[in-house]
Structure 1
Amino acid sequence: MTPFVLVAGARLGAWAWDEVAAELRAAGHEAHALTLSGLAEKQGVPAGQQTHVQDIVAEVERLDLRDVVLVGHSYAGIPVGQAAERIGERLARVVFVDSNVPVDGESFLSGWPSDHVREEIAAHNGFWPSAGADHYAGQGLTDEQIARIVAGQTPHPGATLTEPAVLKGPIAELPATYITCLLDGEDPMDAVAEALKSDHWELVEMDTGHWPMFSQPRELARVLRESVARP
């Protein structure tokens, strides 16, 4: 039995993992989906990026988890990667699901054309606003799945996207699996490509879009289970 801590990307909460968590539990594992501060049922809680890192570390410590697999999707790869470093020997593996990865001194918005995001945050009182249904098109999602995401999402605290990551060592030194979702583009970001050169990292491809917890929850759960067996 392996404990998994599941953290969804921007605008999403623990609810995004319902189907994946059920699959993991059915296979005999622990699944702890976590809502980060300022999102979903935690709206109104002030949050910067380091708040989110501490959310994850605190959850691992509160549950006294050992040999834990931390799973970060999209934006959540940034705080999850930092938390993975900070929990030390409690970590078994970190899994990045089509995500950004932390680079010391750089933010989520570093390394890709993101001026429009900064402008949206400035125009919406410090929050990245919720997205419309068209944002989720072409990603292997049904109309019903898109409607579920649109209904459940909440504006994302902007400071978590603009504040820099803090790492003591290279992210490539952590035992990691990187899941790339092919409908979202085959070329990983530069920081991911560099980390994948490490013997500690492995690459897994999924033939779906950027939100596999909705489009292919059973397949994603299988990949997560198989990551446990990695050296």
Structure 2
Amino acid sequence: MDILLIGGLWLDGSVWRDVVPGIEAAGHRAVPVTVPADRSTTLEDQVAAVLAAVDAADGNPLVVGHSAASTLAWIAADRRPSKVAKVAVIGGFPTADGSLYADFFEVTGGSMPFPGWEAFEGADSADLDEEARRALAAGAIPVPEGVARGVVHLTDERRYEVPVVLVCPEFGPADAQAWIAAGDVPELAKAKHVEYVDIDSGHWPMLTKPDELARLLVEAA
């Protein structure tokens, strides 16, 4: 099976480099997806890049979205419900129809730069050493305003039939289940098949627990 890997905000496909070997050793094809991120890029441009990867996949792929890109993976299920075999979301939840994609931090000069580590103190970043923090911040790609403030459009209710695996890093499965039950994640509340998987890591397990993350994604596939 092809496993498409979409990084969250400020990341490109290279963030998966240590996850790829474990996936491919198990006989799957790992496809890191780098979405466009020029200042003029819109959310629909990024969606188009993900859909192109889905359409190019051999067979029906597992589409993996990390953090905010959980929404990109879910949009792929909405736009290609008969092509996407399963969605895996890591440390994030799909945004509801009509909501802004990722308007989380200050936008300056047409983009949303990485806000610094103060915003991620605690469980998110506790397992990142100083070298990893410096490398991630230095390589962070500003998120175009047209992406961060893009409106999510979901139209095909067949997406709710696509199985979902929720990988829980800085929070646990019980937390995620409680949030969904409380109505905080309406998209997953309506999904017919949701599996919860725990991983003992912070928000970026592809950097701190790549082998374990690869194993979980292989099991999902």
Please indicate, yes or no, whether the TM-score normalized by the shorter chain is above 0.5. Answer: yes
Query: Where do residues 15-26 of structure 1 align in structure 2 (5 Å cutoff)?
Result: 15-26=14-25
Number of the residue aligned with 2:170: 182
Query: Is this contact kept in 1: 2:172–2:198, CA < 8 A?
Result: no
Q: Residues 223 and 196 of structure 1: is their aligned pair in 2 closer, same or farther, counting only changes over 3 Å?
A: farther
Does residue 1:168 correspond to 2:162, yes or no? no
**Matched positions, count:** 212
Does residue 1:10 correspond to 2:27, yes or no? no
Tell me which stretches of 4 or more aligned residues in structure 1 moved more than 6 Å: none
Number of the residue aligned with 2:208: 215
How far does residue 144 in structure 1 lie from its aligned partner after superposition?
A: 2.3
Number of the residue aligned with 1:201: 194
How far does residue 216 in structure 1 lie from its aligned partner after superposition?
A: 0.6
Query: Is this contact kept in 1: 2:79–2:156, CA < 8 A?
Result: no
Structure 1 gap ranges (5+): 39-43
Q: How far apart are the structure 1 equivalents of 2:45 and 2:152?
A: 11
Deviations 1:37-80 (A, max 9, x none): 11xxxxx363111111111001222x343120000001111122
State the AA in 1 paired with 2:19.
V
State the AA in 2 paired with 1:129.
P
How far does residue 135 in structure 1 lie from its aligned partner after superposition?
A: 4.5
* Percent of aligned pairs with the same amino acid: 28
Deviations 1:112-164 (A, max 9, x none): xx4xx2xx21xx11211123344454421122222221221111112212122
Query: Is this contact kept in 2: 1:101–1:191, CA < 8 A?
Result: no
Q: How far apart are the structure 2 equivalents of 1:91 and 1:137?
A: 35
Q: Residues 59 and 198 of structure 1: is their aligned pair in 2 closer, same or farther, counting only changes over 3 Å?
A: closer
Q: Residues 83 and 193 of structure 1: is their aligned pair in 2 closer, same or farther, counting only changes over 3 Å?
A: closer
State the AA in 2 paired with 1:69.
L
How far does residue 226 in structure 1 lie from its aligned partner after superposition?
A: 0.8
1:125 to 92, 97, 109: 109
Q: What secondary structure is seen at the aligned counterpart in 1 of 2:82? A: helix
Q: How far apart are the structure 1 equivalents of 2:210 and 2:147?
A: 27
State the AA in 1 paired with 2:5.
L
1:50 to 44, 47, 67: 44
State the AA in 2 paired with 1:181.
P
State the AA in 2 paired with 1:30.
R
Q: Residues 214 and 195 of structure 1: is their aligned pair in 2 closer, same or farther, counting only changes over 3 Å?
A: same
Query: Is this contact kept in 1: 2:114–2:140, CA < 8 A?
Result: yes
How far does residue 173 in structure 1 lie from its aligned partner after superposition?
A: 3.2
Structure 2 gap ranges (5+): none
How far does residue 186 in structure 1 lie from its aligned partner after superposition?
A: 6.7
TM-score normalized by the length of structure 2: 0.85
Q: What secondary structure is seen at the aligned counterpart in 1 of 2:185? A: helix
TM-score normalized by the length of structure 1: 0.82
Q: How far apart are the structure 1 equivalents of 2:160 and 2:113?
A: 32
Q: How far apart are the structure 2 equivalents of 1:36 and 1:214?
A: 19
How far does residue 193 in structure 1 lie from its aligned partner after superposition?
A: 6.9
Q: What secondary structure is seen at the aligned counterpart in 1 of 2:18? A: helix
State the AA in 1 paired with 2:194.
W
State the AA in 1 paired with 2:135.
R
Number of the residue aligned with 1:88: 81
Number of the residue aligned with 1:153: 140
Deviations 1:95-123 (A, max 9, x none): 0111130311112347xxx4xx2xx21xx
